[in-house]
Amino acid sequence: MTRVYFMRAPSARRLLASSSLFGAAFAGVVAAVVMTLFEFPFWKWGGMNAVAEWQTNWVILSKLTRASPDRAREPRISWTITLHLWHGVAAGIVFGLLLPVLTLLPDGNVSVLLDAVVYSIALWIIFMFAPRRLFESAGGTRISDRGLLVALASHFVYGVFLGLLVPLA
């Protein structure tokens, strides 16, 4: 006797979840592109030191690639921006996963835009402000207060665009 096995089609719920996450990833990368465009004039004006976000990305890249200290002083902007965009994708996916939980909180249904801005500011605190000294010692560089303010403003821009795009995804 021959048995025939059929693969089950993905349930509508799983398909919806995967398309929502893809949409959140897309919203994250678009918001990160806008964020990068916002940061670009500051980089042109003051170099890498004017954008703390890019400084920390370069420290991460120099540690991952084990670049020599001399090489770490001259970062490749293309690699830094690429990592920056990947972080935007990851943050968009995490926001997409958190959004259903956020709507359960009191006043969680007020606005996806507000949730996204608060989320992006929380990202700035967790990944930029709090570990500032760690990145400075690891990279042998100083992250200026001005660079941190540029990062805070760019995180606000990221949050606004993420909040506008995620509902469309």
pLDDT at 146: 87
pLDDT at 10: 46
pLDDT digit string (tens) for 65-95?
Answer: 776 545 545 567 777 788 889 999 999 999 9
pLDDT at 18: 52
2 vs 56, higher pLDDT: 56
pLDDT digit string (tens) for 3-39?
Answer: 444 444 444 344 344 568 899 999 999 999 999 999 8
pLDDT at 74: 57
pLDDT at 86: 93
Mean pLDDT in residue range 143-154: 86
Cβ-proximal residues to 162 (8 Å cutoff; 6+ apart), any chain = 27, 28, 31, 91, 92, 95, 116, 119, 120
pLDDT value at 148 more than 70: yes
**For residue 11, with 0-12 CB atoms within 10 Å meaning exposed, 13-18 middle and 19 or more buried, which class applies?**
exposed
pLDDT digit string (tens) for 82-128?
Answer: 888 999 999 999 999 998 887 777 665 668 888 899 999 999 899 88
Q: Which two tokens stand for residue 108?
A: 């969680």
pLDDT at 5: 42
Q: CB-hemisphere CA count at 13 Å for 103?
A: 10
pLDDT at 63: 75
pLDDT value at 147 more than 70: yes
pLDDT at 11: 42
pLDDT at 159: 95
